[in-house]
Amino acid sequence: MASVMRSCIQSILKLLNCVIGMVGIAMMLYAVWLIRVWQREIGDFPFFDDDDDDEFTPWFIYTFLGLGVALSMITFLGHIAAETANGCCLYLYMLFVFLLIMLEAGVTADIFFNRDWEEDFPEDPSGSFDQFKGFIRSSFQLCKWIGLSVVHTGDDFHKDQLISSDEPVQVLKISEKEKALWMYPTLWHKHHNIELT
């Protein structure tokens, strides 16, 4: 029974790592594409500016590339932890995933509670940040479902840890009105008299 549970948890950990790895690789590819566009439009690579002018630093490209590399390294560590089932690797992997979730929660809280969150970021001379915002606004439903699937994939790993406990699971009963408010955020904002900007 223990070997079946171990192989099940290893498989789920590998699936979670595959999703994180694909997101990391996609972010790195997008950053490389942005570097290529920057090089084509400006004429030099954004990493080797002779000017010390911070006004033209493409921070959005750096951020995407750094996050993609970090996600890929977390994936690599997760695959090692899943294959070896080494306690040290698993704890280190859990620490990095926890830090990643805390970073996501912090950014989400800043965006949700701070109406002027865009002013926290420096100007992006490449225009990639504005294009990214435009894409998110134009295809909000698609981005919402992608975000929910990423959160759900990370949540599956924690559900399997909870299943192994002997405590009874309590079911939360939600009314149809509450389901509608959660499924359609605009209804939630109207219900709570919050204006969307």
pLDDT tens sequence across 35-85: 887 777 776 655 555 555 555 567 778 888 888 898 888 888 888 877 777
Query: How far is Cα 190 from Cα 164, in angstroms, rounded to an integer?
Result: 40
C-beta of residue 113 within 8 angstroms of C-beta of residue 194: no
CB 61 within 8 A of CB 21: no
Q: How many helices, marked H, and strands, marked E, lie in the chain?
A: 7, 0
pTM to 2 decimals? 0.53
Alpha-helix runs per DSSP H in 85-122:
87-113
d(CA 45, CA 42): 8
pLDDT in tens, the chain (197 residues): 777 887 787 777 778 788 888 888 988 898 888 888 777 777 665 555 555 555 556 777 888 888 889 888 888 888 887 777 777 877 888 888 888 888 878 877 877 787 777 676 667 666 777 777 777 777 777 767 777 776 665 555 444 444 444 444 444 455 555 555 455 555 444 555 554 44
- Number of Cβ within 10 Å of residue 65's Cβ equals 20
Sign, CA dihedral 124-126-130-133, equals negative
